């Protein structure tokens, strides 16, 4: 943990005599019907925090969520439990309760070095309401559970942008620390934010409005030296820079993204060369890849083109930090994974420090064989973007408040 961070580091919460409540984020892509988790990266990451706490002799209770009420992925953590055991390399018990008498009894009876996973905290209706930390610290969830613990460890970086009771409520009533995952995320982001003009951000993917907003903030805060756009985000910037005819014009009308072209144009006018836009693209014609000039698009854009791959690779060369959020193309199809592969290669070969974030980005890095070579793989999606652009995260503010209250 860097000097000057306004909250307690992980090791300051480690004490074998204490009972700890640890909030992790194991919200993962899941096939509920078959009880199968499709990507367990987050579970593996948080298992390290849990095993470290338990091996120190602490009694460890884990609280987490899966999905949102009403969606297909909203389910019990009974599926996650075994994955957590596998990665933590120790026995984990699980209870189908969050804060009722059964959970409270199991927490009270938990011995030193033992781990208990509570069920999906979003089964408690209070958890999905976002309010101030002060109000969240007065919820039933926090009032029932907090008295059973000595300390709280906040490790759920991917939920750090939510002002929910299990994120911001506990730190106001329990001495709290950052967890290992959270510390790693903050350290990586510190490397990024201290490099500023020497940083490159590659922004692709399909979350077009969110990513354009993030790009706008990065530029306004002078948080990165250059932004290289790709994916569907790149398509909007192509329309802003070169105009839209043929397929592109039709696509903008049908996708509802037409209104964003003006936003992209304003950014290009204001920040000029700070944003690099693809000069060529890979389009799909009868299932095949054809590379065309970005001014002459007449088929669906699926990737950045070879000239753009070269240009982007040379921008990455020598960068202090290169960040990739959102793939450069449709990596699900082999012939359109070339752009993303080229920028991954440039990142790991030529940038001093590398960071990636986002579910599809991580899956692409894994599929293309780059995941082990990236210096920091973020567990966050929206939290990662929010932190990247320099916005406050409620979880961190609550941890800072906890330090003021309990760690004089």
Ligand X SMILES: Nc1ncnc2c1ncn2[C@@H]1O[C@H](COP(=O)(O)OP(=O)(O)O)[C@@H](O)[C@H]1O
Consecutive H or E run containing 31: strand 30-31
What's the min distance (Å) between Cβ of 280 and ligand X? 13
Total binding residues for ligand X15 by CB under 6 A? 8
Task: By CB under 6 A, name the one of 219, 227, 261, 301 that touches ligand X.
Answer: 301
- Smallest separation, CB 87 to ligand X (Å): 22
Among ligand X, ligand X15, none, residue 326 binds (CB under 5-8 Å by kind): ligand X
CB of 383 to ligand X15, least distance (A): 6
Distance between CA 322 and CA 102 in Å, rounded? Answer: 48
Binding mask 353-392 for ligand X15 (x = CB under 6 A): ----------------------------xx----------
- Residues 60 to 79 in contact with ligand X, rule: CB under 6 A: none
Residue 46 found at the interface with ligand X15 (CB under 6 A): no
Q: Is 159 in the site for ligand X15 (CB under 6 A)?
A: yes
Query: What distance in Å separates the CA atoms of residue 224 and residue 366, rounded to the nearest whole number?
Result: 26
Q: What angle do CA 272, 277, 279 make, to 5 degrees?
A: 125
Give the SS3 label for residue 365. Answer: helix
Contact between 25 and ligand X15 (CB under 6 A)? yes
By CB under 6 A, residue 206 contacts ligand X: yes
Tell me: is residue 104 an annotated ligand-binding position. Answer: no
- Please state the separation of Cα 253 from the chain's center in Å: 31
Residues forming a β-bridge with 37: 30
Instruction: For residue 381, state whether it binds ligand X (rule: CB under 6 A).
Output: yes
Query: Distance of alpha carbon 407 from its chain centroid, rounded?
Result: 29
Provide φ and ψ at 366, rounded to 5°. -70, -50
Q: With the CA atoms of 39, 43, 44 and 49 taken in that order, what torsion angle do they form, in degrees rounded to the nearest 10?
A: 160
Asked if 389 interacts with ligand X (CB under 6 A), we say no
User: Is 360 annotated as a binding-site member?
Assistant: yes
Phi-psi region of 169 (alpha: psi -120 to 50; beta: other; left: phi over 0): alpha
Q: How far is CA 34 from CA 38, 92, 346, in A?
A: 11, 22, 39
Nearest to 311 by CA among 277, 341, 340: 277
Distance CA 149, CA 134 (A): 19
Report the C-alpha gap between 258 and 242 in whole angstroms. Answer: 14
Compute the least distance from the CB of residue 252 to ligand X, in Å. 13
43 binding ligand X? (CB under 6 A)? no
Instruction: Establish if 126 lies at the interface with ligand X15 (CB under 6 A).
Output: no
Reading the block at residue 153, the tokens are: 């460890």
Closest separation in Å from C-beta 188 to ligand X:
16
State the virtual CA torsion across 160, 161, 165, 170 in degrees, nearest 10: 40
Give least dist CB 306 to ligand X, A: 15
Rounded to whole angstroms, how far apart are CA atoms 405 and 408?
7
In the list ligand X15, ligand X, none, the entry touching 103 (Cβ below 5 to 8 angstroms by class) is: none
User: From the CB of 211, what's the least distance to ligand X, in Å?
Assistant: 7
- Asked whether position 215 contacts ligand X by CB under 6 A, the answer is no
Q: Binding site residues, as ranges?
A: 25-27, 42, 65-68, 122, 162, 332, 358-361
- Footprint of ligand X (CB under 6 A): 204-207, 231-232, 235, 301-302, 326-327, 329-330, 332, 358-361, 381
- Footprint of ligand X15 (CB under 6 A): 25, 27, 68, 158-159, 162, 381-382
Q: Binding site residues for substrate, as ranges?
A: 25-27, 42, 65-68, 122, 162
């Amino acid at each position: 943990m860097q000097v000057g961070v306004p909250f307690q580091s992980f090791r300051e919460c480690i004490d074998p005599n204490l009972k700890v409540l640890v909030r992790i984020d194991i919200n993962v892509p899941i096939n509920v019907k078959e009880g199968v988790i499709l990507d367990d990266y987050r579970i593996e990451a948080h298992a390290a925090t849990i095993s470290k706490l338990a091996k120190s002799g602490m009694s460890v209770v884990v609280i987490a969520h899966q999905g949102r009420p009403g969606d297909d992925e909203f389910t019990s953590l009974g599926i996650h439990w075994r994955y957590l055991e596998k990665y933590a390399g120790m026995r984990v018990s699980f209870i189908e309760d969050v804060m009722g008498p059964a959970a409270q009894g199991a927490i009270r009876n938990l011995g030193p070095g033992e781990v208990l996973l509570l069920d999906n905290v979003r089964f408690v209706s209070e958890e999905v309401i976002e309010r101030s930390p002060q109000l969240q610290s007065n919820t039933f969830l926090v009032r029932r559970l907090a008295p059973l613990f000595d300390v709280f460890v906040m490790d759920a970086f991917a939920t750090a942008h939510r002002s929910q009771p299990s994120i911001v409520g506990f730190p106001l009533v329990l001495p709290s620390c950052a967890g290992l995952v959270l510390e790693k995320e903050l350290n990586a982001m510190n490397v990024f934010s201290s490099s500023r003009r020497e940083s490159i951000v590659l922004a692709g993917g399909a979350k077009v409005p969110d990513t354009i907003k993030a790009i706008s903030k990065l530029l306004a805060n002078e948080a990165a030296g250059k932004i290289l756009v790709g994916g569907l985000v790149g398509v909007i910037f192509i329309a802003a820079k070169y105009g839209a005819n043929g397929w592109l014009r039709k696509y903008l009308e049908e996708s509802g993204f037409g209104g964003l072209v003006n936003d992209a144009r304003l950014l290009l006018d204001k920040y000029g060369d700070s944003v690099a836009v693809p000069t060529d693209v890979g389009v799909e014609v009868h299932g095949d890849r054809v590379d065309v000039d970005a001014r002459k698009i007449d088929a669906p854009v699926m990737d950045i083109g070879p000239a753009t791959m070269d240009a982007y690779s040379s921008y990455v060369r020598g960068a202090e930090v290169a960040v990739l959020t959102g793939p450069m193309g449709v990596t699900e199809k082999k012939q359109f994974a070339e752009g993303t592969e080229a920028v991954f290669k440039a990142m790991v070969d030529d940038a001093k420090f590398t960071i990636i974030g986002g579910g599809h980005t991580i899956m692409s890095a894994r599929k293309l064989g780059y995941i082990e070579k990236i210096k920091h793989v973020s567990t966050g999606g929206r939290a990662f973007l929010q932190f990247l652009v320099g916005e406050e995260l409620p979880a961190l503010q609550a941890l800072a408040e906890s330090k003021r209250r309990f760690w004089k």
